[in-house]
Amino acid sequence: MSNSAQPVCIETRHLKKYYPFKNGKTLKALDDVSIAVTKGTIFGIVGESGCGKSTLGKCMMRLQEITEGSVIFQGEDISRKPPKKMKQTLSKMQMVFQNPFSSFNPKLKISYSLREPCRINGMSPVQTDDRIGELLNYISLSENELNRFPHELSGGQLQRLAIARALLLSPEFIVADEPVSALDVSVQAQILNVILDLKQAYHMTMLFISHDMTVVEHICDEVAVMYLGTVVEAGTTSVVFKNLLHPYTKALMSAIPSVEAMGEGKQRILLTGDIPTAVDVPEGCRFASRCPDCMDICKKESPVLLTVEAGHQVACHRYPAGGEHKQA
């Protein structure tokens, strides 16, 4: 997927994560996911609940064990690394969580929560103060806020601090798991601005997990759309969003109530039925049961991710590699 000159920061190869149940069934949370995050870019993962997007983030950080496949971080396969050695690698990865209110120890002042990790990781007090001051600048907060307890700050302020904390140790890679979903629109805008500023300033690499297509389109350089543990469409954001191909992506996009259209003159693709669970998925394409233009082959063979144009991959039988759109 990375066709740019920039080196790849982290990639997954045929990553699988299965949860076996006692009754013999398995939940395939991730099934053959291969993505590559280029250094200095924001990679968006979009999908609805239960599509495995959070699991993917956790597997990439090895916070969850991997069933099969590999995760390659800075050229090194970390998927089988023993936990003792993992600690070193882990400090180069950081996470931002959905709920800012529980992201900080409620009993400690913010300043302590920010300074302690620096001390533990061997930064001098002067370095620490410099680093914190620098980051505070970007998140437009003052020293004043540092001397407070988490419950005295608003969700937006806390989330900005959480992002700053993730950047404290100059990590190579950040996983942001729905960082704006719990926030109000105006606050969400603040956070998105902060992320864009920091990306510019620190050349930060981020996996941005979200269920919101518009947010992903706004800040991500590359995107992968997931459905039931598989990637259905991926590529460079500008290319993909110009020409959405997979029926699921199209439906997802058209389902978003948009301010511009104001509910008029927009043809909406309404999906029927619920999101199935990833337990014992049937043969064929996983989206077949809800797909508005399902073909015979879709129920037999699962499609693979194929490149249809430069920087755009789709896993759909209607779009064979580089080729023509098949009509039903």
Partner 1 sequence: MFGKREINLSTKGNTGTLFTIPVIVALAILAAIAFCSMFAPLISPCDPYEQDLSVAFSGPSAGHPLGADSVGRDILSRLFYGGRTTIFGGIAIVLVTIAIGIPMGLACGYYGGKIDSFFMRLCDIILSFPSLLLAFVLVAGLGRNMSNAILALGIVYVPGIARLMRSLTMVERNKPYVEALHSMCYSDWRIMFIHIVPNCVSSVIVQITLNLGYAVLDLAGMSFLGFGVRPPTADWGAMLNEGRSYLMQNPLLALLPGLCIILLVVSINIFSDGLYRYLEPKQRKLPSFRAYERAMEKKRKKATKLQAEKGGCEA
Partner 2 sequence: MSQLLEIKNLSVDIMSTRGLIHAVRQVNLDIEQGIIHGIVGESGCGKSVTAKSVMRLHHPRTVRIRGEIKFNGVDLLSLSEREMQRIRGREISMIFQDPMSALNPLFCVGDQIAEVFMHHFKDSRAAAKKKALELLEQVGIHPAQTRYQQYPFEFSGGMLQRVVIAIAVAAKPKLIIADEPTTALDVTIQAQVLELLKQLQKELNVSIMIITHNFGIVAELCDHVSVMYAGTVLETGRKRDMFRHAVNPYSRALIESIPKTGHAGQRLTTIPGTPPELFDLVDGCPFAPRCDFASDICWREKPLLAPCAGMQAPQGRLEAEGESPSGLPEGAHSAVEIGHLAACHNCCCGKEAQG
- DSSP letter for each residue of 48-59: -TTSSHHHHHHH
Q: 3-class SS at 23?
A: coil
Q: Which of 18, 19, 97, 149 binds partner 1 (CB under 8 A)?
A: 97
Pairwise CA distance, residues 187 & 199, whole Å: 18
Q: Which does 278 bind (CB under 5 to 8 A by kind): partner 1, partner 2, none?
A: none
- Which residue number, 195 or 298, has a Cβ lying nearer to partner 1? 195
Q: 3-class SS at 83?
A: helix
CB of 216 to partner 2, least distance (A): 9
CB of 90 to partner 1, least distance (A): 5
CB of 49 to partner 1, least distance (A): 18
Exposed / middle / buried, residue 299 (Cβ in 10 Å: 0-12, 13-18, 19+): middle
Q: Which of 102, 127, 140, 214 binds partner 1 (CB under 8 A)?
A: 102
Among 95-103, 236-244, 273-281, 298-306, the segment contacting partner 1 (CB under 8 A): 95-103
Q: 3-class SS at 184?
A: coil
By CB under 8 A, residue 123 contacts partner 1 = no
- Which residue number, 90 or 306, has a Cβ lying nearer to partner 1? 90
By CB under 8 A, residue 127 contacts partner 1 = no
Polymer length in residues for the chain: 328
Alpha helix stretches (DSSP H) within the chain:
53-60, 83-90, 110-120, 125-138, 143-146, 155-168, 185-202, 213-219, 237-242, 247-255
Residues 72-91 that bind partner 1 (CB under 8 A): 87-88, 90-91
- DSSP letter for each residue of 152-167: GS-HHHHHHHHHHHHH
By CB under 8 A, residue 105 contacts partner 1 = yes
Of the candidates 310, 198, 216, the residue with the CA atom closest to the CA atom of residue 207: 216
Dihedral, CA of residue 293, residue 299, residue 302 and residue 305, to nearest 10 = -10
Residues 136-195 that bind partner 2 (CB under 8 A): 154, 156-157, 184-190, 192-193
Site pattern 194..233 for partner 1 (x: CB under 8 A): ----------------------------------------
- DSSP letter for each residue of 117-174: HHHHTT--HHHHHHHHHHHHHHTT--HHHHTS-GGGS-HHHHHHHHHHHHHHT--SEE
Q: How many residues bind partner 2 (CB under 8 A)?
A: 43
Residues that bind partner 1 in the complex, under the rule CB under 8 A: 61, 63, 87-88, 90-91, 93-95, 97-99, 102-108, 113, 117, 120-121, 162, 165-166, 168-169
Residues that bind partner 2 in the complex, under the rule CB under 8 A: 48-49, 154, 156-157, 184-190, 192-193, 196, 211-215, 217-219, 237-238, 241, 251-252, 254-263, 268, 270-271, 274-275
